[in-house]
Structure 1
Amino acid sequence: MTTRSDGFDPTRVAHLGGRFAPVSEEVDETGLRVEGELPPELDGVYLRNGPNPRFTPIGSYLYPVDGDGMLHSVRLSEGGARYRNRFVRTPALRAEEAAGHALWGGVESLITPGPDEAGPELAHTFKNIPDINVVRHAGRLLALGESDCPFRMSPELETLGKETFGGRLPDGITAHPKTDPATGEMAVFCYALEDPCLTWAMLDRDGRVSRGPTPVAGVDEPVMIHDMALTGRFLVLLLAPAFLDLAAAMRGGSFLDWRPERGTRIALVPRDGGPVCWAHDSAFWSWHTVNAYDTPDGRVVLDYVQWPGPGIGPRPAAPGGAPHGLARAVLDPAAGSVRRELLDDARVELPRVDDRVLTGPHRRTAAAAGSGRTAGLLPGEYDALRWYDVGPAGVTARTWNAGILSVGEPVFAPVPGTADPDEGYWLTFATDRTDATSWLLVLPGADPASGPVARVRIPVRVPLGLHGTWLPTQE
Structure 2
Amino acid sequence: MTATAPHGAPPPVDAAHDPHLSGAFEPVIDEIDAGDLEVTGELPPEMDGMYLRNGPNPRFTPLGSYVYPLEGDGMVHGLRVSDGRAHYTNRFVRTPALDVEVAAGRALWGGLMTGYTPGEDEVGPTLAHTFKDMPDINVVRHGGRLLALGESATPFRLTPELATCGRETFDGTIPAGITAHPKVDPRTGEMAVFCYGLEPPYLTWSLLGPDGTTRRNPTAVPDVDEPVMVHDMALTERFLVLVLAPLYFDIAAAMRGGSMLAWRPDDGTRVALIPRDGGPVRWATSEAYWSWHNANAYETDDGRVVLDYVQWSRPGGMSPDTGPIVGGLARAEIDPVAGTMSRRFLVDPASMEFPRVDDRRLGRRHDVVALGTITGRQPLVPGDHDAVVWLDPETGRTVRWEAPEYAVGEPCFVPRPGDDDTAHGWWVTFALERTDRSSCFLVFSGADPGAGPVATVRIPVRVPLGLHGAWLPTQE
Structure-2-length-normalised TM-score: 0.96
Q: Distance in 1 between matches of 2:95 and 2:365?
A: 38
1:421 matched to which residue of 2? 422
Q: Displacement of 1:6 after TM fit? A: 5.6
2:278 matched to which residue of 1? 273
Residue 364 (str. 1) matches residue 372 (str. 2):
no
2:141 matched to which residue of 1? 136
Retained in 1: the 8 A contact 2:289–2:313?
yes
Residue 353 (str. 1) matches residue 357 (str. 2):
yes
Retained in 2: the 8 A contact 1:4–1:109?
no
2:337 matched to which residue of 1? 334
Instruction: State the identity as a percent.
Output: 61
1:206 matched to which residue of 2? 211
Retained in 2: the 8 A contact 1:426–1:445?
yes
For these two proteins, the number of residue pairs brought into alignment is 469
Retained in 2: the 8 A contact 1:168–1:212?
yes
Q: Distance in 1 between matches of 2:214 and 2:285?
A: 31
Q: Pick from 375, 382, 392: which aligns with 1:389?
A: 392
Retained in 1: the 8 A contact 2:427–2:446?
yes
Give CA deviations for 1:109-139 in whole Å, capped at 9, x if unaligned.
1211111111110000011100000000011
Give CA deviations for 1:347-387 in whole Å, capped at 9, x if unaligned.
210010000010000011100011112x2211110000000
The residue type equivalent to 2:296 in the other structure is N
Q: Distance in 2 between matches of 1:288 and 1:4?
A: 34
Q: Distance in 2 between matches of 1:187 and 1:474?
A: 23
The residue type equivalent to 1:386 in the other structure is V
DSSP-derived class of the 1:107 partner: coil
Q: Distance in 2 between matches of 1:231 and 1:459?
A: 41
Q: Displacement of 1:316 after TM fit? A: 2.5
1:324 matched to which residue of 2? 327
Q: Pick from 40, 51, 58: which aligns with 1:46?
A: 51
Give CA deviations for 1:130-165 in whole Å, capped at 9, x if unaligned.
000000001100000000000000000000000000
1:462 matched to which residue of 2? 463
Stretches of 4+ aligned residues off by more than 6 angstroms: none
Matches within 5 A, 1:369-448: 369-373=373-377, 375-391=378-394, 394-448=395-449
Q: Displacement of 1:473 after TM fit? A: 0.5
Q: Distance in 2 between matches of 1:400 and 1:7?
A: 38
Q: Displacement of 1:314 after TM fit? A: 3.9
Q: Distance in 2 between matches of 1:100 and 1:63?
A: 23
Matches within 5 A, 1:118-197: 118-197=123-202
Give CA deviations for 1:410-459 in whole Å, capped at 9, x if unaligned.
00001000000111110000001011001000000000000001100111
Q: Distance in 1 between matches of 2:421 and 2:18?
A: 43
Q: Cα–Cα, structure 1 residues 281 and 131, in superposed 2: closer, same or farther, change >3 Å? A: same
Matches within 5 A, 1:36-115: 36-115=41-120
DSSP-derived class of the 1:429 partner: strand
Retained in 2: the 8 A contact 1:188–1:200?
yes
Aligned CA RMSD, in angstroms, stands at 1.4
Q: Distance in 2 between matches of 1:337 and 1:48?
A: 37
DSSP-derived class of the 1:142 partner: strand
Q: Displacement of 1:106 after TM fit? A: 1.3
Q: Displacement of 1:174 after TM fit? A: 1.1
Q: Distance in 1 between matches of 2:138 and 2:428?
A: 16
The residue type equivalent to 1:419 in the other structure is D
1:291 matched to which residue of 2? 296
Q: Cα–Cα, structure 1 residues 438 and 292, in superposed 2: closer, same or farther, change >3 Å? A: same
The residue type equivalent to 1:412 in the other structure is F
The gaps in structure 2 that reach 5 residues or longer are: 1-6
Q: Pick from 255, 258, 278: which aligns with 2:263?
A: 258
Q: Displacement of 1:252 after TM fit? A: 1.1
Q: Cα–Cα, structure 1 residues 286 and 378, in superposed 2: closer, same or farther, change >3 Å? A: same
2:234 matched to which residue of 1? 229
Retained in 1: the 8 A contact 2:12–2:61?
no
Matches within 5 A, 1:16-31: 16-31=21-36
The residue type equivalent to 1:433 in the other structure is R
